[in-house]
Structure formats: C-alpha cells, structure tokens
Structure 1
Amino acid sequence: MATEAVVAMTTTEPQKKNRIQVSNTKKPLFFYVNLAKRYIQQHNEVELSALGMAITTVVTIAEILKNNGLATEKKVLTSTVGMKDENKGRFIQKAKIEIVLGKSEKFDSLMTASAAAAPPATDSDAAAKDKE
C-alpha cells in the first residue's frame, strides 16, 4: 500500500518551471542538452529528472553540461517510485534520479562565444538547402 501513496504524491506534484523530465524514447539527446541550457539561462539552475532506463540519458546530459563548463552539480537524488505496470497491471518499483545543475561562473561568456561562433541561418542558407 505504501507504493500507492508514492504514486499519488508524484502524480499530483506540481510541475516546476525549471524541471525537465527526460525520456529516452521521445526526443534526441541534444534536444534535452539545449533545453537545459535555456533553463539554466532563465532560472540559473535546471532539474533533470528520469525514471528507469532514461536515467543514463539524464546522467549523460548532466556530464555534457558540466564538461563543457556550463553547469555545476548542486544535488543528486536517487529513489524508487511505485507505479502500475501498463502490460501486467501490477505495481512495480522503478528507479528515479533527479540531478540539479546550477549556472557556472563561465556560463554567460561560453554561451556568448558559442553564439558568435555559429552565425544565425539566413534565407539564402535555407534556399541553398532547398536546391540540394
């Protein structure tokens, strides 16, 4: 019965504005990396969250941001969550991870440098692609 309470708590929990719930099937890895950069820019930190097999994706995203000097690790939480298995109709325990990353001191200068290095796409770029 305790697992039912955990499920109820996690499903009624309000969505935080700086939380990214990562799935390893819905979006490519760099979609989440770029989204995390935007959240760090707007909120000074981002919370990456995942269940089960998506945990490795969250760890990879966090490592990319840290290794590029954009973020610092603030907190890592691991737990298990009880949920109903869609296929078998019974309650199962799934691993959960939450990683909170903060804005690094070099974040703004690195983001400015990367924006300057990649000039924005122009209409002529799009027309050239259409001809290919």
Structure 2
Amino acid sequence: MEEIAEGVNAMNLGAGDFHKKNRIQVSNTKKPLFFYVNLAKRYMQQYNEVELSALGMAIATVVTVAEILKNNGLALEKKIMTSTVDMKDDSRGRPIQKAKIEILLGKTENFDELMAAAAEERDAGEGEEQS
C-alpha cells in the first residue's frame, strides 16, 4: 500500500512541475499586452493549456489577454481562481492584502488550424513586401 502512495505522490509532484512550466505571471508595467497574448499562444502549442496569473492592478491585463484569446477562437476557459495574498508594504513596513487571479485556458478544437492559417498569412505578407 505504501508503494502506491509513493507513486501517487510522485505523480502529484510531477503535475505540480507541469503547472509551473506553463504559467505566465503577468505584470501591468513590464511588457506590452500582445507580448502576453503571443506567449500564451506558444505555451498552449507546447502544453495544450496555459495558466495566466496576476496580482493587483495587473488583473485587468490578465483578463484582457484571456478575452483576446477566447474571442479569436484560440482558447477555452477551464478554471478561474481568485484569492488574496498577504504582502509586505515596503513604504509603510506593514502587511497588506493584494487581490490575485489565476485563469487556466485550454486549446480549442481548431486551435492548430487557426494558428497554421495565421502563420500562412504572415508568410504571404512577408513575401509580398520583399517583391
């Protein structure tokens, strides 16, 4: 029985590692919006799903990225989790609570077709510019 428990624990640890690889922690100041949209597309190509995560003011950016992917037919919402996180306020030195959101998106059935069509359009556009 202990061997089974060890096997299950090993699988759970592996699953935890999987979620770390396909998580994007979004900031509202460091990168432009479409950096996160394109990164999420790449993560979905690699892992079939992506987890978008943000704190505080960056939550709006995460929601916007998720909506762009959904509206373009590339992603389906699998799970949305909200919580608060205790953080230390550097200026006052006391703990504050920040809102946190995590959105798990999965590929749609026609994700690969849409991505291939977009790549063809891009390649055709580059060919026209050169000639």
TM-score in terms of structure 1 length = 0.80
Q: Select 1:42's aligned residue among 46, 69, 81.
A: 46
Q: What SS class does the counterpart of residue 20 from structure 2 fall into?
A: coil
Kindly tell me the number of residue pairs found equivalent between the two proteins.
112
Residue equivalent to 1:88 = 92
The AA in structure 1 aligned to 2:109 is E
What secondary structure sits across from 2:93 in the alignment? coil
CA–CA distance in structure 2, aligned partners of residues 17 and 112 of structure 1: 24
CA distance in 1, matches of 2:126, 2:24: 27
Structure 1 consecutive aligned stretches of length 4 or more whose deviation exceeds 6 Å: none
Distance in 2 (CA, whole Å) between partners of 1:91 and 1:80 is: 12
Give the corresponding residue for 1:102.
106
Residue 98 of structure 1 and its aligned partner are, at CA, apart by: 0.1
Q: Which residue is equivalent to 1:17? A: 21
The CA deviation at 1:121 is 4.9
Identical positions, percent: 73
**RMSD over aligned Cα atoms:** 1.9
Q: Indicate the residue corresponding to 1:60 in structure 2.
A: 64
Q: Please give the alpha-carbon distance, in whole angstroms, between the structure 1 residues aligned to 2:101 and 2:94.
A: 22
- Structure 2 gaps of 5+ residues are 1-15
**Which residue of the partner structure matches residue 76 of structure 1?**
80
The residue type paired with residue 78 of structure 1 is T
1:4 paired residue number: none
Letter in 1 for 2:73: G
Paired position in structure 1 for 2:11? none
AA in 2 matched with 1:65:
L
Matches of 1:86 and 1:121, distance apart in 2: 48
Distance 2:119 2:21 in 1: 24
- Greater helix content: 2
Unpaired runs of at least 5, structure 1:
1-12, 126-132
Deviations 1:86-114 (A, max 9, x none): 21111000000000000110100000000
Q: Secondary structure at the match of 2:21?
A: coil
CA distance in 2, matches of 1:23, 1:57: 8
User: TM-score normalised to the size of structure 2?
Assistant: 0.80
